């Protein structure tokens, strides 16, 4: 059975007959897919015993929740790195990116909103530069092995470790030192939110990921994933590589309105974040009202001048120069001039993304559905290789 693959403009670019992406390169035929499958299997599992892991080809995996249009923090902290990794990857590197819709369910969601956000996130990933013919892009819920491995990992995950992690506390707006004994925790905390890191570990391990590009806030989840991989391997044999976090140089992009907290999708003031779909006018307005201070001149001092320092950091991520280098150029300039330069840089960089995003969303030819189907097919095949080993070593 062949499916048409068309470009955004509707031009036919090929046919898909089976999951593409075992080699992440081109749309492949069933025959080729099988051969590649066994090649990949031997390559990874073979490498575990015969070669040092650092010689093994890389598998890069990351995920993002479909909970709204990504902002500048998501872009600089994660998405731009995904694209860079994709564009500089060696041919053997496997690239897999997931829209983690099951994770989004750990806080209450409205059905029609979630459905829309999933699609918008897929359009965004392509708009920022992920190429579905190079990277596997898929909805997490379309690949059931994620949930299966999650359950298996639940049987070894430590409640003590999970209770010390911060995600459930911040989502419930509880202090970092709160314990499970806390009355609010006892009444509000749901098992899905508490075990969020276990599902994240399953996402990573089911694809035998070696490298996981994320923002600084995900470091703890990566540490947990490595820990659970080691525990599993210790008990059942060398199945999972220990995944390494690749932390983006843009560790924490801060809120424009409250520059001591990170830019986030959930801040009550929409002017605190620049969305990838914002127009140049929206961007100009948001940067213009970004909170700074009354001091004259431009200096880089994140503790004393968090607002100005955040603007300098964002500028440096686009401009390529360090904050210190920027300060030597702008030290005598007004904050207004700094904001104008930043507005120009952000608008110029985001405009092509926005344009492509709008085209993708307007496309009624089923392009996004075809991409997600192709991605799910490939991700299923890849995850299934891991699961058959996992089931085997566990006696299932
Ligand atoms: P989330 O929106 O929480 O699903 O995050 C998606 C990705 O963006 C993760 O890799 C985060 O680490 C990264 N990220 C989110 N917010 C920021 C921020 N303000 N600065 C840098 N990275 C961020
Ligand atoms: N927890 C991540 C976030 O909030 C999203 C995520 C889920 C993820 N599974 C993942 C990131 C696996 C990297 C790898 O941003």
CA of 118 to the centre of ligand 2 (A): 15
Residue nearest (by alpha carbon) to ligand 2 atom 6: 63
Answer yes or no: do 82 and 132 share one domain.
yes
Helix (H, G, I), strand (E, B) or coil at 264: coil
CA of 218 to the centre of ligand 1 (A): 8
The answer to whether residue 344 sits within a structural domain is: yes
Answer yes or no: do 173 and 199 share one domain.
yes
- CATH assignment at residue 169: 3.40.50.620
φ, ψ dihedrals at 316, nearest 5°: -65, -30
For residue 79, give the ligand nearest its CA. 1
Which of the following is catalytic: 257, 262, 286, 339? 262
Which of the following is catalytic: 265, 285, 339, 364? 265
Apex CA 107: angle with CA 106 and CA 110, to 5°?
Answer: 115
pTM, to two decimals: 0.86
Is 110 among the catalytic positions?
no
The answer to whether residue 18 sits within a structural domain is: no
Mean of the pLDDT values across residues 99-126?
97
Residue 109 has pLDDT above 90, yes or no: yes
Residue among 345, 336, 77, 101 nearest 213 (CA): 77
Q: Does the C-beta of 221 come closer than 6 Å to ligand 2?
A: yes
Answer yes or no: do 156 and 238 share one domain.
yes
- CATH assignment at residue 355: 1.10.240.10
Q: Which residue has the tokens 């127009």?
A: 279
The answer to whether 35 and 42 are in contact (CB under 8 A) is no
Query: What percentage of the chain has pLDDT greater than the value 70?
Result: 86
For residue 70, give the ligand nearest its CA. 1
- In the chain, the number of structural domains is 2
The answer to whether residue 126 sits within a structural domain is: yes
The answer to whether residue 14 sits within a structural domain is: no
Mean of the pLDDT values across residues 333-350?
97
Answer yes or no: do 358 and 376 share one domain.
no
For ligand 2, mutation pick of 61, 65, 67 (most atoms within 8 Å of CB): 65
Domain that holds residue 309: 270-362
Neighbours of 303 (CB within 10 A): 7
pLDDT of amino acid 58: 96
Q: pLDDT tens-digit profile of 361-392?
A: 999 889 999 999 999 999 999 999 999 999 99
Residue among 250, 162, 253, 258 nearest 213 (CA): 250
- Whole-number Cα distances in Å, 214 to 16, 54, 60, 229, 389: 31, 20, 11, 18, 27
pLDDT of amino acid 266: 85
Q: pLDDT tens-digit profile of 62-106?
A: 999 999 899 999 999 999 999 999 999 999 999 999 999 999 999
Is 262 among the catalytic positions?
yes
Instruction: State the pairing for strand pair 3-6/12-16.
Output: antiparallel
Answer yes or no: do 102 and 200 share one domain.
yes
List of residues 6+ apart from 392 with CB closer than 8 A:
none
Residue 353 has pLDDT above 70, yes or no: yes
Residue nearest (by alpha carbon) to ligand 1 atom 18: 73
Answer yes or no: do 170 and 295 share one domain.
no
Residue nearest (by alpha carbon) to ligand 1 atom 22: 77
Residue 191 has pLDDT above 80, yes or no: yes
Is 37 among the catalytic positions?
no
Answer yes or no: do 224 and 349 share one domain.
no
The answer to whether 214 and 224 are in contact (CB under 8 A) is no
Answer yes or no: do 337 and 382 share one domain.
no
pLDDT of amino acid 54: 57
Report which secondary-structure segment, H or E, holds 66.
none
The pairs formed by 150-155 with CB atoms below 8 angstroms and a separation of 24 or more are: 150/195, 150/198, 150/199, 150/202, 152/202, 152/390, 152/394, 153/198, 153/201, 153/202, 153/205, 153/228, 153/232, 154/195, 154/198
Answer yes or no: do 66 and 83 share one domain.
yes
pLDDT of amino acid 221: 98
Answer yes or no: do 115 and 162 share one domain.
yes
Residue 305 has pLDDT above 60, yes or no: yes
The answer to whether residue 49 sits within a structural domain is: no
The answer to whether residue 43 sits within a structural domain is: no
Task: Copy the structure tokens of residue 81.
Answer: 């790195």
Residue among 384, 374, 352 nearest 132 (CA): 374
Apex CA 120: angle with CA 313 and CA 62, to 5°?
Answer: 60
CA of 294 to the centre of ligand 2 (A): 38
Looking from the CA of residue 221, the nearest atom of ligand 2 is 1
At 30, the pLDDT band (50, 70, 90 cuts) reads: very low
The strands making up 244-247's β-sheet, listed across from edge to edge, are 136-139, 94-99, 59-64, 211-214, 244-247
The answer to whether residue 22 sits within a structural domain is: no
Answer yes or no: do 197 and 339 share one domain.
no
The answer to whether residue 358 sits within a structural domain is: yes
């Amino acid at each position: 059975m062949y499916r048409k693959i068309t470009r955004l403009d509707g031009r036919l670019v090929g046919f898909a007959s089976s999951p593409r992406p075992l080699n992440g390169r081109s749309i492949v035929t069933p025959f080729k897919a099988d051969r590649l499958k066994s090649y990949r299997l031997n390559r990874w599992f073979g490498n575990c015993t015969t070669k040092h892991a650092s010689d093994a080809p890389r598998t890069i995996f990351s995920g993002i929740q479909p909970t709204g249009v990504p902002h500048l923090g998501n872009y600089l902290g994660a998405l731009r790195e995904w694209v860079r990794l994709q564009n500089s990857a060696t041919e053997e590197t496997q690239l897999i990116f997931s829209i983690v819709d099951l994770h989004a369910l750990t806080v209450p969601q409205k059905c029609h909103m979630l459905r829309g956000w999933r699609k918008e996130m897929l359009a965004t990933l392509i708009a920022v530069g992920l190429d579905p013919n190079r990277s596997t892009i898929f909805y997490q819920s379309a690949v059931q092995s994620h949930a299966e491995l999650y359950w298996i990992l639940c049987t070894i995950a430590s409640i003590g470790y999970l209770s010390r992690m911060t995600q459930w506390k911040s989502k419930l707006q509880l202090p970092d030192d709160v314990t499970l004994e806390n009355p609010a925790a006892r009444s509000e905390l749901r098992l899905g939110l508490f075990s969020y890191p276990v599902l994240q570990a399953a996402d990573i391990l089911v694809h035998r990921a070696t490298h996981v590009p994320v923002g600084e806030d995900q470091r703890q989840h990566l540490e947990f994933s490595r820990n659970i991989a080691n525990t599993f391997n210790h008990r059942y044999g060398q199945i999972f590589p220990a995944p390494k976090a690749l932390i983006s140089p843009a560790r924490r992009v801060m809120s424009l309105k409250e520059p001591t907290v990170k830019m986030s999708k959930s801040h009550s003031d929409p002017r605190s974040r620049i969305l990838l779909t914002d127009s140049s006018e929206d961007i100009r307005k948001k940067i213009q009202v970004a909170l700074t201070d009354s001091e004259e001149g431009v200096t880089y001092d994140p503790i004393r001048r968090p607002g100005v320092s955040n603007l300098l950091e964002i500028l440096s991520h686009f401009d390529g120069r360090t904050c210190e280098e920027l300060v030597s150029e702008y030290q005598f300039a007004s904050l207004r001039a700094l904001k104008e330069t930043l507005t120009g840089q952000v608008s110029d960089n985001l405009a092509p993304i926005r344009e492509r995003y709008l085209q993708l969303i307007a496309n009624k030819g089923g392009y996004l559905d075809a991409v997600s189907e192709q991605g799910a097919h490939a991700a299923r095949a890849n995850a299934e290789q891991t699961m058959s080993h996992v089931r085997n070593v566990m006696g299932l």
